Amino acid sequence: MDAGTAIANDHRAIEKLLDGLLLADGGGGERRLLVELGDHLRAHCVAEEAHAYRALVNEDPRERSAVYVAIGEHRTAVVKLAATARACGTPGFGEARGDLVEVVVGHIERCESQILPALRDRTTTTWHEELGRLFEQRRAAELGRCQDRRSVPERSAAQSHPVRVSRMSRAAGDR
């Protein structure tokens, strides 16, 4: 599968999650959908930036500004996702959810009308196919990491910050 198809297919999966979020009735399913959406957005963004965007800029440095805009949209989506999660169960949830959907759908439309055609036009068929494989591989790995992080039980501060703790221990031992 080529990069354009792989990325567009992932966009459809993200849109399905957004549809589910829009249909959520306040019965508590919103949080689960937001976690799943967050995992998919993170995996998608990492894979897209690492492979498609990098390849496009390498093939045509004039595309750098379009890629920077797309990366900025990724960052904005993450911020809107966090705001939506914070608003869960509050009167502001609908507005936050709408802002998130607007940012993500706007990015998908720009990506599919500008970035993906430029990538297709500037890469050979073989390289475009390889980029699709790399995107899929990286996306799957990132999704696995997201799920692994959620399955790890809460860690103590000492486990979460081993460098800080060991520095503090050394400093205390030096006295």
Domains located in the chain, CATH noted:
3-174 (1.20.120)
Contacts of residue 134, Cβ cutoff 8 Å, sequence gap at least 6? 47, 50, 51
| pLDDT digit string, tens, across residues 46-56 | 999 999 999 99
Asked if residues 84 and 24 have their Cβ atoms less than 8 Å apart, the reply is no
Q: Is the pLDDT of residue 168 over 70?
A: no
The more confident residue out of 158 and 114 is 114
Q: How far apart are CA 56 and CA 48, in angstroms?
A: 11
Q: What's the whole-number average pLDDT of the chain?
A: 86
pLDDT (tens digit, 9 = 90+) per residue, 75-111? 999 999 999 999 998 899 999 999 999 999 999 999 9
Compare 161 and 22 and report the one with higher pLDDT. Answer: 22
Secondary structure (DSSP) of 24-38: --SSSHHHHHHHHHH
pTM of the model: 0.81
Question: What is the reported pLDDT for 163?
Answer: 38
Tokens of residue 24, six digits = 């959520």
pLDDT at 158 > cutoff 90 = no
pLDDT computed for residue 175 by the predictor: 35
pLDDT tens for residues 24-80?
876 678 888 999 999 999 999 999 999 999 999 999 999 999 999 999 999 999 999
Q: Would you call 152 helix, strand, or coil by DSSP? A: coil
pLDDT at 24: 81
